[in-house]
């Protein structure tokens, strides 16, 4: 691994949310299971050549399949990260997470933790720890080693030997290696020299009802009305190309400006 110019992690908090990495067989099939700390400790003890930082472990509650992730759980996760850093003195946090919404959660934490000087790294696995050809220990060990070499403050996503920017990647396949792909986007705006105080990680956060609507040919005002009538406070429009949408549908356009909804 290329030497890093950033300080090596000394004290890592591992936050276990559930997901495939720790799933075990149950009466209802594979399900997130408690007890992963002991399995992790046993694995690392069996790999003396793997040099990792000191770490401690916290099991989130409830443990979930990441398909059931919610913004409310993100709030809980943010509070756990802030507690690990500001209260318990950890300089880094490793979050074990299911892959279905891993990129969503990592991106959400990138904004929830603006200004945090610690390193936060997400990882998971395509197959549960302990099964044949599992990538669980590879990803977990690799993420710890990456933290031990030094990462920039902020949120990272580690998977199959790659470090990815969580706001510039997506899960593109449900099997095999390298399920996450970098999203090549032009521009990206101007990076702020400092985080406004109101957006800092230590400011109180509130949940907001925000929806996402991908535009498609033939989308009608009725579709938009149904979403706007659901009680949302904000709407993100996924437009065509460089941000275009239907311009010859007056009912659709009127629905966007008549409801007092913040739209992007």
Domain interval for residue 257: 210-263
Is 115 contained in some domain?
A: yes
CATH number of the CATH domain containing 237? 3.40.50.40
Residue 138 and residue 219 share a domain: no
Number of domains in the chain: 2
Is 204 contained in some domain?
A: no
**Amino acid 261: pLDDT:** 61
Residue 231 and residue 147 share a domain: no
Is 43 contained in some domain?
A: yes
Q: What is the DSSP string of 50-85?
A: ----EEEEEEEEEEE-GGG--HHHHHHHHHHHHIII
Residue 37 and residue 168 share a domain: yes
Residue 170 and residue 84 share a domain: yes
Predicted TM-score (pTM) of this structure = 0.91
Residue 251 and residue 152 share a domain: no
CATH number of the CATH domain containing 154? 3.40.50.1170
pLDDT tens over the chain, length 264 residues: 556 789 999 999 999 999 999 999 888 888 999 999 999 999 999 999 999 999 999 999 999 999 999 999 999 999 999 999 999 999 999 999 999 999 999 999 999 999 999 999 999 999 999 999 999 999 999 999 999 999 999 999 999 999 999 999 999 999 889 999 998 766 555 566 678 888 899 898 889 999 999 999 999 999 999 998 998 888 898 999 878 888 898 888 888 876 666 555
Reference 139, options 166, 157, 151; nearest CA is 157
Residue 220 and residue 187 share a domain: no
Is 89 contained in some domain?
A: yes
Q: Provide φ and ψ at 214, rounded to 5°.
A: -75, 130
> Are the CB atoms for 126 and 11 separated by under 8 Å?
no
Q: State which of 150, 172, 199 marks the end of a domain.
A: 199
Is 6 contained in some domain?
A: no
Q: What is the DSSP string of 146-202?
A: HHHH---SEEEEEETTEEE-GGGEEE--SSSS--EEE---S---PPPSS--GGGSTT
Residue 84 and residue 111 share a domain: yes
Residue 215 and residue 195 share a domain: no
Residue 235 and residue 124 share a domain: no
Residue 32 and residue 127 share a domain: yes
Helix (H) or strand (E) holding 141: helix 136-149
> Are the CB atoms for 77 and 17 separated by under 8 Å?
yes
Between CA 11 and CA 109 the distance in angstroms is 20
Residue 150 and residue 54 share a domain: yes
Is 2 contained in some domain?
A: no
Residue 74 and residue 140 share a domain: yes
**Amino acid 108: pLDDT:** 96
Is 45 contained in some domain?
A: yes
Is 86 contained in some domain?
A: yes
Coil, strand or helix at 212: strand
Coil, strand or helix at 30: strand
Q: Provide φ and ψ at 75, rounded to 5°.
A: -60, -45
């Amino acid at each position: 691994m290329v030497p890093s110019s950033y300080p090596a992690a000394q004290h890592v908090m591992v936050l276990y949310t559930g997901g495939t990495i720790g799933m075990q067989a149950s009466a209802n099939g594979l399900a997130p299971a408690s007890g992963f700390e002991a399995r992790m400790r046993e694995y690392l003890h069996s790999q003396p050549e793997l040099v990792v930082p000191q770490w401690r472990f916290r099991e989130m509650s409830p443990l979930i399949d990441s398909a059931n992730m919610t913004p409310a759980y993100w709030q809980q996760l943010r509070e756990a990260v802030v507690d690990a850093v500001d209260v318990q003195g950890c300089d880094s946090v490793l979050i074990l997470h299911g892959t279905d919404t891993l990129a969503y959660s990592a991106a959400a934490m990138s904004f929830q933790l603006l200004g945090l000087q610690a390193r936060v790294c997400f990882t998971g696995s395509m197959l549960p720890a302990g099964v044949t050809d599992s990538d669980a220990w590879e990803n977990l060990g690799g993420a710890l080693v990456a933290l031990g070499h030094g990462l920039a403050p902020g949120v990272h996503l580690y998977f199959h030997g790659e470090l990815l920017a969580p706001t510039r990647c997506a899960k593109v396949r449900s099997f095999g290696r390298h399920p996450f792909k970098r999203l090549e986007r032009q521009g990206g705006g101007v990076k702020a020299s400092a985080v406004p105080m109101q957006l800092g990680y230590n400011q109180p956060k509130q949940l907001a009802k925000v929806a996402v609507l991908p535009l498609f040919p033939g989308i009608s005002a009725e579709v938009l009305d149904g979403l706007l009538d659901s009680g949302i406070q904000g709407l993100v429009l996924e437009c065509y190309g460089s941000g275009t949408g239907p311009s010859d549908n007056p009912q659709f356009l009127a629905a966007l400006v008549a409801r007092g909804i913040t739209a992007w």
